[in-house]
Chains A and B, each alone.
Chain A
Amino acid sequence: MKRLLLFLLVIAVYVLHQDYWYWRAVTPLVFGFLPIGLFYHVCYTLAVSLLMWILVKHAWPKHLEKEPVSPHSNPQSAIRNPQSEDPR
């Protein structure tokens, strides 16, 4: 359920990028010089940072951090042998 909510949140943020409602608007000028369309996207960028904080807090893939085996102990035979190409 939590993952579904986070997924929907990401989709919602993506959709909010397409702000057609300010397409032709200049005013109000925020702080006297920032057109509203630009101000919206400045706020949007800050909201994305917040979204990433939420994802890090609630969906961080902790299991990937487990101490791995040494990379050099793995023979990686499939990686480095041209003969392993499936001839099919």
Chain B
Amino acid sequence: VIPVLFVFAYLAIVIYIGVFAFRRKIGEHPAEDYFLANRSLGQVVFLLSLFGTNMTAFAILGSSGHAFANGIVTYGLMASSSALIVPLSLFLIGTRVWAMGKRYGFMTPVQMFRDRWECGHIGTVIFLVQAALLVPYIIIGVMGGGTTLYAISGGRVPFWLGGAVVAMVVMIYVFFGGMRGTAWVNAFQTTLFLLFGAIALVVIGFGLGGFDNAIEGLLSSQSTTALLTRERISPLFFFSYTFIPLSSINFPHIIIFCLTARRMQHFKRTVILYPICMLAIWLPAVFLGVAANRATEVPAIQAKLEARQTLTAQGPTLTPEQRTELRAKSAGDDVLLRLLEKYAPLWLAGLLGAGIMAAVMASDSQILALSTMFSEDIFTYYEGKEKFGETAQVVTGRIFVIVLTIIAYAIALESPQPIFDLAVQYAFSGYSALMPLIVAALFWKRSTKWGALASTLWTAASVIAIAVFQAAVPAPKVIWSIGGAEILARTPGGTAVFGFLPVVPMVIVSALLMIVVSLMTRKPGEATIKKYFCSNIILSSLDE
């Protein structure tokens, strides 16, 4: 009961911060105030909130689970690659998007694309693809809330109630607080889970009898020694993963968040400190995930290790259903919770449970981003604002928040989680494949709306193709090979194209389509090009 009380106290604080703590009098532009916090966020909130927005439940729970199964490779695969690509994209793209937003009043990327490429309905297509890729994320957030509350309460709070409580809390502060409330809540949550990582590391380290002891134990067996190297992952797979963080700046909630900084100077410390924040969160999460392989005195973890052993020893002789069941049993997404249950005192487990809730409740900024996009790219664009005014635009955005949360909750109740886990995987690849759009818009004069449309349609088609392929073909299976070289294969983790993750060909083909189709079609008018490239807004064009 104590951990649940901590979590509910935490949820109450979150509502207070989101709704009441940082309210401002509504100014001249209610839409900009609600959706972008009047472009006025300060340095600390901007950094903490941007980082928190980028970190989902996966950063703590998922990364520990991945490290539990795959070892230290998880850090290089996901953390250090993001530590380079994310701040670099904020530096090169985020600053320019901020400047254009300030200058031309953009509130969403689609608004910028419509203006930059002189298009209308093509922007709507881009909106639809971006929204479709974002929705599974929101559903996963609601599911994560329900699952975590269920686990923390030891089953006393059922999944449906936990999901409803978390969805309701998020809806309340997004509805009332808009971007300002959401940003402050995210900043608070980031502070909490930064603290959480450090405390969990110390407590579990003591519980395991010291980390050197745990590592020595892992070294004593050949199968666990492999967890301390990267031999379970191929170098091509490792390289492919550096394409995944390209998705970050293309996620609507990240790019929209770039517009909220009061000054461009705020990006400076953000890009320098971002890698340090990554280190502070991911190193404990990955290390604890690996060390959990030594926590055989925790029954739940022992059961996972046994399931993994059976899978390794008898894998080829098992039916696909048995393999799927064993994979689910050996999955380590909850190892951190199990370690805390075992090694942390009850009151601390409650406090740390609140920290985990902070990491899980990442759907707020995504709900707000989708609401901003709907309100600006659809309602305003199709003349709703002209007919009904700016106040009606904000009301529409708020109604959208409610409707979206209810739909996400209803789907979360009815659908099995693995489907959406997969959909989120596709979303990362999809948003990475949309990278050529923002790069071309900002840096290439000659890019056209038809190039953008080709890239967008390719992204949608390739995501659907991979989803269908993975659903239809059981793993592992080589579909196409030439002279012993595997061209297309279904792997236990997904799909491999020439040994790479699908994201690599997706990004390359998307970029090629942008280039070739743009060169074949008429470029935007001189006035538009002058507006973007000769008014000192862009550093330089690739044409020069």
Contacts and interface: CB of A to CB of B under 8 A. Distances in A.
Contacts of B111: 76, 79
Contacts of A52: 87-88, 91, 271-272, 274-275
A41 B275 contact: no
Residue from the set B81, B230, B276 with the largest chain A CB neighbour count within 10 Å? B230
Contacts of B121: 82, 85
Interface stretch (B100-108, B166-174, B484-492): B100-108
A22 to B, nearest CB: 8
Interface string A1-43: 0000000001001100111101111100100110101100110
Give the top 10 A-B pairs by smallest Cβ distance, nearest first: A71-B105, A68-B103, A85-B120, A64-B99, A33-B211, A49-B275, A38-B72, A32-B212, A35-B228, A41-B80
B13 to A, nearest CB: 31
B216 to A, nearest CB: 9
Given A18-B235, A42-B279, A68-B103, A56 B271 contact: yes
Chain B interface residue bracket vs A: 35 or more
B214 interface: yes
Interface of A: 10, 13-14, 17-20, 22-26, 29, 32-33, 35, 37-38, 41-42, 44-46, 48-49, 51-53, 55-56, 60-61, 63-66, 68-69, 71-72, 74, 76, 78-86, 88
Contacts of B73: 37
Given A38-B75, A63-B539, A49 B231 contact: no
Chain B binding surface SS class: helix
A14 to B, nearest CB: 7
A78 B114 contact: yes
Interface of B: 29, 72-73, 75-76, 79-81, 83-84, 87-88, 91, 95-96, 98-99, 101-106, 111, 114-115, 118-122, 210-212, 214-215, 219, 225, 228-231, 235, 238-239, 242, 263-265, 268, 271-276, 278-279, 283, 286-287, 380-383, 385-386, 449, 522, 528, 536-537, 539
A46 B125 CA distance: 40
Nearest to B521: A88
A37 B76 contact: yes
20 contacts: A14-B84, A14-B242, A17-B80, A17-B242, A19-B76, A23-B229, A23-B231, A41-B80, A44-B80, A49-B273, A49-B274, A63-B536, A64-B99, A66-B536, A76-B105, A79-B106, A79-B115, A80-B386, A83-B120, A84-B120
B215 A61 contact: no
B102 A68 contact: yes
Contacts of A69: 103
A68 to B, nearest CB: 4
A17 B114 contact: no
Given A49-B273, A64-B96, A84-B118, 9 more contacts: A17-B84, A19-B76, A24-B230, A37-B229, A38-B286, A52-B271, A65-B264, A81-B120, A84-B120
